[in-house]
Amino acid sequence: MTHPLGTAPSKVIAVHLNYPSRARERGRAPSQPSYFLKPPSSLAGTKEALERPAGCELLGFEGEIALVIGSRAQRVPPGEAWSHVRWVTAANDAGVYDLRYADRGSNLRSKGADGFTPLGPRLLDAQELDPAGLRLRTWVNGELAQDDTTGQLLFPFNELIADLSRLVTLEPGDVILTGTPAGASVVRPGDVVEVEVTAGELSTGRLRNPVAEGPVLEPFGAMPRVDVAERAAAWGSAWMPEPALDPRLAEGLRSVAVATLSAQLRKRGLPHMSIDGVRPSRPGQEMVGVAHTLRYLPLREDLFKRHGNGFNAQKRAIEEIQPGHVLVMDARQDATAGTLGDILALRAQKRGAAGVVTDGAVRDSAAIAELGLPVYAAGAHPSVLGRRHVPWDTGIPVACGGALVQPGDLLVGDADGVVVVPPDLAEELIADCREQERQECFITEQVHAGESVDELYPLGPAWREQYEKWCEEEGADA
């Protein structure tokens, strides 16, 4: 097979985020560019198939503008950087999100597979082009999916080259993938992806790659794995998540008290389902949602430098929230440092969070209370999390307030606190809780009338017939 560039480059460098439209889609705008490497063996040409490995679900396309270095660049200033670019062409920075968890950040397995960087079909002379005047478009099955220009990039091309060349010598033939705009999404076998870069009347032509089913991955090392967060990241703005919790089930859980749920769970041999020590940020708050988890570990200063800075697990957990999620934080019941502040609480609210539960403290507690987002915490503390906690990982079983919480568990909160509800028990719990509360309403009326609680509370055989009659009068089924 002829190499799309004639000879293989020494390296292919890709930029994570560069288009403002994509940054808005992702909910974050970096202050500096960040990069990852793709193997030269991932390069392919037009008409070559993008193969989605069998067993994978989320093959993503990303139309991009590729720069091909023409002369050696080492510590070049921004003003001279563009002179080192020989060619401009279209590219598709493809990848499978099913494997992203295994090499998060480096993207080696998810984006480095053979054929995952098609380029072409024509090379445009960079020195005849205005790097701020390029247009990038991507089509899927003939329908326009991406359309943006290079006029307002977060990091213009000359800045990328200068930044990279400070530490990494760019050799002739090296490729820089300059980021993708909004609209990148998922394709399936049978689809066709086309990417074109234009500069006025000049065009690269359409880089056209059909999508095909690839071979099964041998069971060595990481295997495909997806969750709600990866689906959201892969589909981007084209993905509309289903409600995290069926509205009918959510309404049923809202209709009963946390104390009643706790009692019914105890009857089923589950006495440790309450999250102890947490209180709502404001009176009258109620909460129902699906658990999304974040774990903090005890502070170690040397590890905090690596795990606590940048887009750490705390921030990642916020950005992974889907509508209806309750973010559950395991802070080891240590309320001597903040685990959430008002800005991240606001971001969680904007992401559609149904609430936040932490067995640590919150800071900016007054501002958080004003947001109206249900937040249950063990207390308030002015310090940042780095005083006690290292944000470690997300989407795993955690311990919060003495209760084991798995992603996907249901969380219900009211003035009494928060209880964990196993999803497979929710329907029957709602029915039994309603019956218990109906009985308690009857019992309360009798106590108001002066009756003794003996054999009345809990409801005994002596009161059963009168209770059933009361239910008929009330229009309720006993």
Show the CA angle centred on residue 238, arms to residues 236 and 240, nearest 5°: 95
To the nearest 10°, the Cα dihedral for 397, 292, 378, 374?
-160
- 303 labelled ligand-binding: no
| Structure confidence at residue 298 (pLDDT) | 95
Query: Where does 67-179 have alpha helices with state H?
Result: 78-81, 108-111, 157-165
The first and second tokens of residue 123, run together, are: 């090379």
Parallel, antiparallel or unpaired: strands 403-405 and 398-400: antiparallel
C-beta of residue 99 within 8 angstroms of C-beta of residue 198:
no
H or E segment and range at residue 302: helix 301-307
One DSSP character per residue, 316-375 reads: HHHHT--TTEEEEEE-TT--SSBS--HHHHHHHHHTT--EEEEEEEESSHHHHHHH---E
CA distances from 342 to 6, 279, 299, 339, 347 (A): 54, 17, 22, 11, 9
- What per-residue confidence (pLDDT) applies to 50? 95
pLDDT, residue 104, reads 76
Angle among Cα 103, 214, 48 to the nearest 5 degrees reads: 100
Q: What is the mean pLDDT of each run of 10 residues along the chain (478 residues)?
A: 70 94 81 94 94 92 97 96 97 94 85 94 95 96 93 95 96 96 92 96 96 87 80 68 77 95 96 96 93 94 85 86 93 96 94 95 95 96 91 92 94 96 94 94 94 91 92 71
Distance CA 376, CA 394 (A): 19
Distance CA(435)–CA(226), nearest Å, equals 39
pLDDT tens digit string along 350-362?
988 999 999 999 9
- With contact defined as beta carbons under 8 Å apart, do 49 and 211 qualify? yes
Question: pTM of the entire structure?
Answer: 0.55
Query: What pLDDT shows up at residue 478?
Result: 44
Q: How much is the pLDDT for 216?
A: 84
Per-domain boundaries in the chain: 12-238, 247-421, 427-474
Q: Using CA atoms, how far apart are residues 337 and 334, in angstroms rounded to an integer?
A: 7
Integer Cα distance of 160 and 16 in angstroms: 12
**How many CB atoms are located within 10 Å of the residue 243 CB?**
13
CATH architecture of 247-421: 3-Layer(bba) Sandwich (3.50)
Annotated binding residue at 364?
yes
Can you tell me the distance from the alpha carbon of 266 to that of 269, in angstroms, rounded to the nearest whole number? Answer: 5
**Under a CB-based contact definition with an 8 Å cutoff, are residues 170 and 72 in contact?**
yes
Note the pLDDT tens digit of each residue in 236-284: 755 545 566 888 999 999 999 999 999 999 999 999 999 999 999 999 8
* Burial (CB count <10 Å: 0-12, 13-18, 19+), residue 302: exposed
Q: Please report the pLDDT score of residue 220 as a whole number.
A: 77
Residue in 262, 327, 296 with CA at minimum distance from that of residue 393: 296
Residue 63 annotated in ligand binding: no
What tens digit of pLDDT does each residue of 380-407 get?
999 988 899 999 988 889 999 999 999 9
The answer to whether 363 is a known ligand-binding residue is: yes
Return the residue matching tokens 């009176």.
283
- Phi (first) and psi of residue 289, to 5 degrees: -175, -175
Q: What is the CATH superfamily name and number for domain 12-238? A: Fumarylacetoacetase-like, C-terminal domain (3.90.850.10)
Residues 6 or more apart from 384 whose CB is under 8 A from it? 337, 338, 341, 363
Q: What is the rounded CA–CA span in Å between residue 82 and residue 77?
A: 10
Backbone angles phi, psi at 459, to 5 degrees: -60, 120
What is the distance between the alpha carbons of residues 162 and 178, in angstroms, rounded to a whole number?
13
Which pLDDT value is given to residue 111? 94
212 in Cβ contact with 148 (< 8 Å):
no
* Residue 343 is labelled as binding a ligand: yes
Q: Are the beta carbons of 361 and 368 closer than 8 angstroms? A: no
pLDDT value of residue 281: 93
Q: Residues 449, 421: contact at Cβ < 8 Å? A: no
